[in-house]
């Protein structure tokens, strides 16, 4: 036997199960326990940029809505800077860049309010189009699914995006594009996530 | 460009696959197309930062965080403790650990749980804490009970605590379940067995830690959590963040 490398192995994932809300969004589960629930303040009142709402539905392989999903979002600010010590740049007070949304138990609809992120410099110095990183967990999902939400009104930037262009199947690229709608003066991006099937959303191994 | 290196690729043969037909719900909730593999960019190597302002000082004490004054939940009092490390065996300090669980009878405080075992009026079932500078965390709680679920007609989940951990990067985000040493239901559970490697399953079983138990108060179980490790940028960049 050769020498051992002595790395530890990552803890195996398990499904978040049907009651994920108890732990991560207890108010939604029907009881108040914390003074402050985390994840409802992606972009505080001081955040720069266009105020937007993200809305959607998660569907399964039968096109039925999945009503027990929890989605986390991670995004840069309007200047394309993440609120993290490894990313140099100014972050306005109260911009967190991270949020959590759960689906309505009756309809499966989910949504969150934030600001539209700016473009971010990517792996090899190329510029990534504005995007929000999403992580999806639920009963039946054994390991969290990573995807990205891009914006329909960023056509040129999307066409040059190094991650979108990694997807060889061009028809699948559109599954990552949220559609801009203006409704009663509010900017809404509609982003439906399909877990399985021909029009399945692209998921990443990051 | 990032000064620190990328994360080691996730070992998808060690992790459970998306499609695991004995866990029936996974059949229609698993992608059919392969995942697209990304080299890490700043979008993946950064992640949310939490501080002590975000959580309450007793949020890690499930024996008291929902109990009426002077009362406490019914069940086996335990301490669940351990460290959060990366694959290089380095501690991950100041990271958020969140847990949730059923009560001693296997009933969740959730409006969708209709199991006939009763709610405990003094038990909420969720807690959260930040690891200290050595990556250490602890919770006080009651040992959860097993409960039945609709998969096969007579499936019972082993006693378990759900655990959510952040690390320092969105690429490290992980949710798992902690099981308890000696539970005969572990080997029979289709959710546990979504994990193909028996050595990986053992990593989810918390041993009894008698040395850390408090006489006449609580038994203790130890549950260490390992998140993805990071490469040193030996040749491309400055050496940092191994």
> If you measure CA to CA, which chain A residue comes closest to B26?
A140
**Nearest chain B Cα distance for residue A188, angstroms:** 23
Q: Determine the Cα–Cα distance for residues B55 and A39; give it in Å rounded to an integer.
A: 12
Q: How confident is the model at residue B236 (pLDDT cuts 50, 70, 90)?
A: low
- Tell me the pLDDT tens digit for each residue of A68-100: 999 999 999 999 999 999 998 899 999 999 999
Q: Determine the Cα–Cα distance for residues A12 and A31; give it in Å rounded to an integer.
A: 30
Question: What is the arithmetic mean of pLDDT over B23-38?
Answer: 98
Residue A151's beta-bridge partner residues? A178
DSSP H or E run through B162: strand B160-165
What percent of chain B is modeled with pLDDT above 70?
Answer: 94
Q: What pLDDT is attached to residue B208?
A: 98
Cβ contact (<8 Å) for A13 and B174?
yes
Please determine, for residue A204, whether its predicted confidence score (pLDDT) is greater than 60. yes
Tell me which DSSP letter residue B202 carries. H
**Nearest chain B Cα distance for residue A184, angstroms:** 32
Best A11, A30, A63, A205 member to test B by mutation, with max B CBs in 10 Å, is A11
Q: Are A10 and B227 in contact (CB under 8 A)?
A: yes
**Nearest chain B Cα distance for residue A112, angstroms:** 17
> If you measure CA to CA, which chain A residue comes closest to B197?
A12
Q: Are A188 and A149 in contact (CB under 8 A)?
A: no
- Identify the burial level of B8 via C-beta atoms within 10 angstroms of its C-beta, where 0-12 means exposed, 13-18 middle and 19 or more buried: middle
For chain B, say whether A83 makes contact (Cβ under 8 Å). Answer: yes
What are the catalytic residues of B?
A: 108, 147, 157, 160, 162
For chain B, say whether A120 makes contact (Cβ under 8 Å). Answer: yes
Predicted complex ipTM exceeds 0.90: yes
Q: What pLDDT is attached to residue B1?
A: 39
Please determine, for residue A4, whether its predicted confidence score (pLDDT) is greater than 70. yes
**Nearest chain A Cα distance for residue B145, angstroms:** 15
Please determine, for residue B48, whether its predicted confidence score (pLDDT) is greater than 50. yes
Question: What is the arithmetic mean of pLDDT over A157-161?
Answer: 97
In 3D, which of A183, A163, A161 has the Cα closest to residue A111?
A183
Of B31, B96, B175, the CB nearest to A144: B175
Question: Which residues are CB-contacts of A31 (< 8 A; sequence separation ≥ 6)?
Answer: B66, B109, B124
Question: What is the arithmetic mean of pLDDT over B89-109?
Answer: 97
Cβ contact (<8 Å) for A122 and B26?
no
Q: What is the dihedral angle through the alpha carbons of B30, B34, B40, B44, rounded to the nearest 10 degrees?
A: -20
> If you measure CA to CA, which chain A residue comes closest to B67?
A33
Q: What pLDDT is attached to residue B227?
A: 98
> If you measure CA to CA, which chain A residue comes closest to B227?
A10
Q: What pLDDT is attached to residue A5?
A: 94
Question: What is the arithmetic mean of pLDDT over A5-19?
Answer: 97
Q: What pLDDT is attached to residue A122?
A: 83
């Amino acid at each position: 036997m050769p020498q051992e490398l002595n790395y530890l192995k990552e803890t195996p994932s398990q499904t978040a199960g049907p009651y994920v809300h108890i732990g991560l969004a207890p108010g939604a589960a029907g009881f108040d326990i914390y003074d402050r629930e985390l994840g409802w303040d992606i972009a505080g009142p001081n955040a720069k940029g266009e105020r937007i709402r993200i809305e959607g539905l998660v569907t399964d392989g039968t096109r039925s809505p999945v009503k027990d999903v929890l989605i986390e979002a991670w995004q840069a600010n309007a200047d394309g800077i993440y609120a993290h010590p490894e990313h140099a740049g100014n972050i306005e007070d109260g911009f967190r860049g991270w949020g959590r949304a759960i689906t309505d138990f009756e309809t499966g609809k989910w949504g969150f309010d934030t600001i539209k992120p700016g473009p971010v410099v990517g792996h090899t110095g190329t510029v990534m189009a504005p995007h929000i990183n999403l992580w999806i967990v639920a009963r039946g999902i054994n390991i969290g699914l990573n995807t990205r939400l891009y914006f329909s009104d960023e056509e040129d930037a999307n066409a040059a995006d190094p991650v979108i262009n990694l997807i060889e199947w061009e028809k699948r690229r559109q599954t990552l594009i949220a559609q801009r709608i203006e409704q009663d003066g509010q900017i809404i991006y509609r982003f439906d996530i399909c877990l399985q099937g021909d029009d399945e959303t692209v998921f990443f191994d990051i | 460009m990032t000064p620190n290196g990328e994360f080691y690729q996730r070992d998808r043969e060690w992790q459970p696959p998306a499609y695991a037909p004995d866990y029936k719900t996974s059949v229609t909730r698993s992608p059919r197309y392969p995942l697209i593999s990304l080299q890490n960019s700043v979008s993946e190597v950064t992640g949310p930062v939490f501080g002590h302002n975000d959580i309450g000082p007793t949020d890690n004490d499930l024996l008291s965080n929902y109990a009426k004054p002077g009362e406490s939940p019914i069940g086996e009092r335990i301490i669940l403790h351990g460290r959060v490390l990366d694959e290089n065996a380095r501690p991950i300090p100041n990271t958020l650990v969140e847990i949730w669980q059923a009560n001693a009878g296997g009933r969740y405080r959730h409006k969708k749980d209709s199991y006939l075992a009763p709610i405990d009026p003094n038990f909420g079932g969720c807690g959260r804490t930040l690891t200290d500078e050595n990556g250490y965390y602890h919770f006080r709680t009651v040992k959860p009970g097993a409960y039945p679920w609709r998969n096969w007609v007579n499936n019972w989940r082993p006693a378990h605590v759900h655990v959510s951990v952040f690390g320092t990067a969105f690429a490290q985000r992980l949710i798992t379940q902690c099981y308890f040493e000696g539970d005969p239901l572990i080997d029979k559970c289709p959710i546990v067995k979504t994990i193909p490697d028996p050595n990986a399953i053992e990593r989810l079983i918390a041993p009894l830690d008698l040395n850390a138990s408090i006489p006449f108060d609580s038994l203790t179980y130890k549950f260490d959590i390992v998140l993805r490790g990071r490469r040193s940028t030996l040749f491309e960049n400055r050496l940092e963040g191994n």
